[in-house]
């Protein structure tokens, strides 16, 4: 099969299109013919080597996390899927590989595709949908009447998280550029701040929750807009000791992550707020719940651009510009 492979870490290193062996599903896995795959910032960070301490892949590695496609074959212990089913998923860490014509994926990570979505729309959902769900629902238990600040409202996670937060009944604030202000409001944001000219600290106060996805400067400001007892959930770091324990990191990595996050944890404690680092986990059961919301019209996917499979490197480069509105998708079929 054709696949895009990472041979060597480095920001300037393009993925290589290669002929790879067809995956053979284990007893608890499903072989999926990939029709579409979406590109995430995580793909770029893995390629550049930023995550090699916590995700030490053995190269060469077929890249890609999100996918939508059709089941071709199921393992002996698989119960929820059969050949011909339309599915979508975020592949588990160390078993990624959706930038390929086929992938073998654990049944536990797989879900039935939302019925009315095309493959490209469905492939755009898993990583950003699960990130928003695990931050807002699973970790923060966001409730009606609470106030949440979601950074970068026009990005992949932001466009999904705004819609989910509004569905949960929260008041939503976000940041974007002036050109996207009206568009982000249409997604459901109540307060939209032009990050190029306005300071969130003068605009926002006493928030219950922040979903942080930007740099350290934005992190510092976001901590200060929380009310006492509020929570900041960061998907861009720094990772904290709890995360190191969860992934079973070696001692030197645990120490490194403890030191990296010491400053922000200390400042959060001084302000009387909570700092959490979130690294999304694949979950087929959560994707089934997300599919239900999509089918009911509570959330719609937001696509920026669809690239042909041969242009996978160009798709990654487009994501790296930071200017995509919603998700960037690769079409295979």
Distance of CA 165 to the CA centre of its chain: 16
Q: Please identify which residue in the block is written with the tokens 């807002």.
A: 136
Strands 147-150 and 171-176: parallel
Strands 66-74 and 86-90: antiparallel
Mean residue pLDDT across the chain: 97
Residue 167 φ then ψ, to 5°: -60, -35
Model confidence pLDDT, tens digit, residues 169-197 = 999 999 999 999 999 999 999 999 999 99
Look at residues 63, 62, 64, 104 and name the one whose alpha carbon lies nearest to residue 87: 104
Model confidence pLDDT, tens digit, residues 32-90 = 999 999 999 999 999 999 999 889 999 999 999 999 999 999 999 999 999 999 999 99
Q: Is the pLDDT of residue 275 over 90?
A: yes
Model confidence pLDDT, tens digit, residues 117-171 = 999 999 999 999 999 999 999 999 999 999 999 999 999 999 999 999 999 999 9
Q: Write the CB contacts of 282 (distance below 8 Å, at least 6 apart in sequence).
A: 89, 90, 91, 92, 93, 106, 108, 109, 126, 130
Model confidence pLDDT, tens digit, residues 156-165 = 999 999 999 9
State residue 202's pLDDT score.
94
State residue 230's pLDDT score.
98
- Walk me through the domains of the chain, giving residue ranges and CATH numbers: 2-124+301-331 (3.90.180.10), 128-277 (3.40.50.720)
Are 330 and 38 a contacting pair, CB within 8 Å? yes
Query: pLDDT over 70 for what percent of the chain?
Result: 100
Question: In whole angstroms, what is the distance from residue 97 CA to residue 115 CA?
Answer: 24
Distance of CA 129 to the CA centre of its chain: 7
Question: In whole angstroms, what is the distance from residue 48 CA to residue 51 CA?
Answer: 8
- Crossing angle of helices 41-48/312-320, nearest 10°? 100
State residue 240's pLDDT score.
92
Least confident of 3-7, 70-74, 231-235, 319-323: 319-323
* pTM higher than 0.95: yes
State residue 53's pLDDT score.
87
Q: Is the pLDDT of residue 303 over 90?
A: yes
State residue 160's pLDDT score.
98
Question: In whole angstroms, what is the distance from residue 227 CA to residue 230 CA?
Answer: 5
């Amino acid at each position: 099969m054709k696949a895009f492979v990472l041979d060597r870490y480095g920001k300037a290193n393009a993925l290589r299109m290669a002929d790879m062996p067809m995956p053979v599903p284990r007893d608890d896995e499903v072989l999926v013919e990939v029709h579409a795959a979406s590109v995430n910032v995580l793909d770029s960070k893995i390629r550049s080597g930023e995550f090699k301490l916590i995700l030490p892949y053995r190269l060469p590695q077929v890249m890609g996390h999100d996918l939508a496609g059709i089941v071709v074959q199921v393992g002996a212990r698989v119960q929820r899927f059969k050949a011909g089913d339309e599915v979508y998923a975020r592949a588990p860490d160390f078993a990624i590989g959706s930038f390929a014509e086929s992938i073998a994926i654990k049944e536990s990570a797989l879900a039935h595709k939302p019925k009315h979505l095309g493959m490209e729309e469905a492939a755009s959902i898993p990583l950003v949908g699960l990130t928003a769900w695990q931050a807002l629902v699973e970790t923060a238990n966001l409730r009606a009447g609470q106030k949440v600040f979601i950074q970068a409202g026009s990005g992949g996670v932001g466009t999904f998280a705004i819609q989910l937060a509004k569905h949960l009944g929260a008041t939503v604030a976000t940041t974007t550029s002036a050109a996207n202000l009206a568009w982000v409001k249409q997604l459901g944001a109540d307060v939209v701040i032009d990050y190029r000219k306005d300071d969130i600290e003068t605009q926002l106060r006493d928030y219950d929750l922040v979903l942080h996805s930007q740099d350290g400067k934005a992190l510092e400001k976001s901590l200060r807009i929380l009310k006492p007892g509020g929570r900041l959930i960061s998907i861009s770091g720094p990772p904290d000791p709890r995360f190191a324990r969860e992934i079973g990191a070696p001692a030197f990595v645990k120490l490194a992550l403890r030191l990296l996050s010491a400053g922000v944890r200390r400042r959060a404690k001084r302000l009387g707020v909570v700092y959490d680092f979130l690294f999304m986990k694949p979950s087929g059961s959560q994707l089934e719940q997300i599919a239900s919301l999509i089918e009911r019209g509570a959330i719609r996917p937001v696509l920026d651009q669809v690239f042909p499979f041969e242009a996978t490197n160009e798709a990654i480069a487009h994501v790296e510009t930071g200017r995509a509105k919603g998700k960037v998708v690769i079409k295979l079929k």
